[in-house]
Each structure stands twice: as C-alpha cells, then as structure tokens.
Structure 1
Amino acid sequence: MPDPIYVRNAFARIADRYVMTNHVLSMGMDFWWRHVVTKRIKALRPGKLMDVASGTGDLALKIQDEIPQCEVMATDFCAEMLAHASSRGVRKTLVADALDLPFETDEFDVVTVAFGLRNMGDYELALKEMRRVLKPGGHLFILDFSLPEGILRVPYRLYLHHVLPKLAGLLTGEKDAYEYLGDSIEQFPAGDKMIQLLERTGLRDGTADPLTFGVVTVYEAVKR
C-alpha cells in the first residue's frame, strides 16, 4: 500500500502544475474519461454527491457544470490541492481523510473517486467508508489506471516506468513524485479483482469498463 505521508507531500509539491501535467501525460484523454463518468452519473439524477480525493477538482468541476442541480462536495487530504480546486470554481471543499470521512452515514446519492483510491493506504477501509456515506441504493464510481491487455501491454509498461516519470519531471520539476506511479498501477487491483474487492466491502452489481484500450477503467457499484 502507498505511504500516505509521502503521497500527501508529493501532491503538495506539484499542486500548482498538476492540472496541466495530467493533460499532457494523458494526451488530453483525461477530458474524455471524465466525460464518460459524468454522463453515467447524470443519468442517475443525483441530488448530493461527494468526490473523494478530488485533488484540483477536475471531476468535481465537470459534474458541477454538467449536473447543476446536484450539490457537489469535493474532499481531499491534501489542502494545497483543494485550494486549487476552490480557486478553479469548486463551490464546496473540505480537507478530509478518505479512511475516516467526517460525514453522516447514508448521506450521499453518489460517491466518486478518480485516480485517488490507488494512492490510499488501505483500499478496503477506504471503500467501506465510501459505502458507509452512500445512501442505500447509492452508486460508487471509481476511475483509475489499469494495464492494457494484448500487444499494448509491453509498450505501455515501458512508457509507464521509463518515459512518464522523466516527462513528468520536466513538466513539474518533481520527478520523484511520479516515480512511484508505475508500481502503484501494477499493484492496484483491476478488473475482476476490483469487483471482488467491491463485493467484500458490501457493494453489489459491480461492473468494470475499460477505456482507451484498458489504460484506465471505470468501476461502478451500488450500496446494498
């Protein structure tokens, strides 16, 4: 599991360059990934949503703009990242640890976490907390990196472990903040393993939908 202190310090150092760096490293595909998630959420017509590990607020902003009737709360354990989310227009933010969320049980219609669960110190505990704050029948959406299958797997892993850290280092001046990224993706439960983890934490009807040849995956599950 990732070291939470290391992760928080790393994100604090790159907060002011995080948005631009993500767009470059994903070649702009991050816009499409958030669109896919937001479209699925919009169909649910939620009244209250929490974006966990919101960072600089990219997904929270997208949901806030596309679903104006939904009250969006963005949380993150890195205050520096959330400060950028606020400055970019996220209306409600709160510094909070995903492993101990300061919200009532059964409070949200939808909970989202984009590229954040992988960085948490205890996946199962984090998922249990997200489930707790969901209303019965509420939906959890996870968007995170995964590894492609087939012929793309080897070149993608080369990019992930060798090219990406160097490119990110040039963009942010903090190469070490991205050096752990490849290993974190390799170790993160994906596909059926994630579905099994969701079921163990009390969620049902889990689905896994790979995007962009499997570079990322959207998971959705419902609170029992």
Structure 2
Amino acid sequence: MPSTLPPPEEKSQFVQTMFGEIAERYDLANHLLSGGLDFLWRRRAARLIRAWQPARILDLATGSGDLAITLGRACPGALVVGADFCRPMLSVARRKGLEHLVTADGLQLPFPEASFDAVTIAFGLRNMASWPKALAEMRRILRPGGHVLILDFSVPLAPLRWVYRPYLHHVLPRVAALLTGKKAAYDYLGDSIEQFPQGPVMCVLLEDAGFSDPEHQPLSGGIVSLYTAKR
C-alpha cells in the first residue's frame, strides 16, 4: 500500500489544511476512536506537569485545546498559553473558553527565549515538518531547569501489535470517515505513527536537541508514549 505521507517540503501545508477540514469533528473522533482513553492520557500528563509547579505553560500544537484545559484544571495558579498554526482548530478551542491562544508555527515560535517553565505537546510533534527544529524551538523558549512533555502515539510490542496494526490501518480510517467525512486524514495518521521515532530513539532526539534526563513511559500497552526531559 502506498504511503499517504506528504513530501517534507509540503508537510506543513498538508497538515494545516487537513486539520482545518476536520476541526469541527476532531474531538468526537478522538474520544470515540480511542475508546475514551485520551482523557486518561491527558490527566496522566497533567499530573506530571503539576508536580513541576510551573508558573507559565505553553501547550504547543494545542489543537482544540483539550490538553490546555486539563492543564489549567491541574495547575490553577499557572498561566496556560495554547499555540497552533491551524486557525479552525483554535476557533474550537476558543469556543471551549480558552483565552490565551496564539496562532504560531512550532518551528518558529513568537516567544522570547526562556519564556516558559514547561512546554507540552500532545499528538503534535509527529505532524511537524522537522522534529529536531521543533525540539530546538521548545528548548529555546524554556527557562533553564524547565521541562518539556511530549505525548504521542507509538506502535506497541507484540502481541498487542498484531491487533493494533490492522485496527490502525484498516478499521480506524473507515470509522473516522463516517465521523468526519475525511478518511484520508486517518490514513495519514496510521502512516505517520509508523514513521514517528519512539522509545529510546525519541530520547536520543531530545538529547541531541540539548535536553537532559529524557524519560519514556509507555501508556495503554504502548499505543501511546509519554516523554519528559529538562532544559
């Protein structure tokens, strides 16, 4: 089966258009296709962030704002800023009550160096045109001693992998097509997950970007991975 991944030079525009087309049905598809596990993943991430006691948090690739909302509840004294380059997704986030939203590309963030105590990105780094450049930008805007948290899909080990891959590449896109009318977006999802670095490989990318103490936690049997590191 041919890959649905766009050439690197076209990826940003492809992703921006794709998410703009599914923005209004994005949350419904996420909740149903994950079986509600996405709520648990975000709460797990928020508990880690709360333990760091950040005063200023940037939720990068915030999309419809679900993680930013969860972070705001977990860290009521913190300023949570959501950034995304897809305006239709930010419109959904704004309707949910998020106030601090910025239209921004993750490869060129409009924030000074050392602006935030923590940077989070959930299911967004995978869609960036350059993972090293995105990680470098996250490090730039973090204060020394600040933390980054990355939450994204991964491919679990066998035997779960044997069930997961048919679901990811065949069942999920068809169900998503009924929910959103955009099967191609979820064909892309499966291919992008297969290509995305995970586990020790992602930890090496974090170290190469200048982060220290990278850690990897597989969640839900490894269908999702949570990474943390420190500037």
Aligned equivalent of 2:113 = 105
1:191 is aligned to 2:199: yes
From 105, 112, 120, the equivalent of 2:128 is 120
Separation in 2 of the partners of 1:17 and 1:183?
A: 21
Q: What letter matches 2:72 in structure 1? A: Q
Question: For residues 89-123 of structure 1, what are the alpha-carbon distances to aligned partners after superposition, in whole Å with 9 as ceiling and x for unaligned?
Answer: 11200000000000000110000000000000000
1:155 Cα deviation after fit: 1.3
Separation in 1 of the partners of 2:74 and 2:157?
A: 32
Separation in 2 of the partners of 1:89 and 1:141?
A: 23
Q: Unpaired segments of 5 or more residues in structure 2?
A: 1-7
Which region of structure 1 is more displaced relative to structure 2, 1-10 or 114-123?
1-10
**CA RMSD in angstroms, aligned pairs only:** 0.8
TM-score normalised by the chain length of structure 2 = 0.95
Q: What letter matches 2:64 in structure 1? A: T
Q: What letter matches 1:132 in structure 2? A: R
Aligned equivalent of 2:93 = 85
Query: What percentage of aligned pairs have identical amino acids?
Result: 49
Question: For residues 16-53 of structure 1, what are the alpha-carbon distances to aligned partners after superposition, in whole Å with 9 as ceiling and x for unaligned?
Answer: 11111100010000000000000010111110000000
Aligned length: 223
Question: For residues 124-162 of structure 1, what are the alpha-carbon distances to aligned partners after superposition, in whole Å with 9 as ceiling and x for unaligned?
Answer: 000000000000000000000001112011210111111
Partner-residue secondary structure (3-state), 2:227: strand
Separation in 2 of the partners of 1:177 and 1:185?
A: 12
Q: Unpaired segments of 5 or more residues in structure 1?
A: none
1:176 Cα deviation after fit: 1.1
Aligned equivalent of 2:75 = 67
Structural mapping, 1:1-224, within 5 Å: 1=8, 3-223=11-231
Separation in 2 of the partners of 1:46 and 1:27?
A: 31
TM-score normalised by the chain length of structure 1 = 0.98
Q: Which runs of 4+ in 1 moved over 6 A?
A: none
Q: What letter matches 1:160 in structure 2? A: L
Q: What letter matches 2:47 in structure 1? A: K
1:68 Cα deviation after fit: 1.1
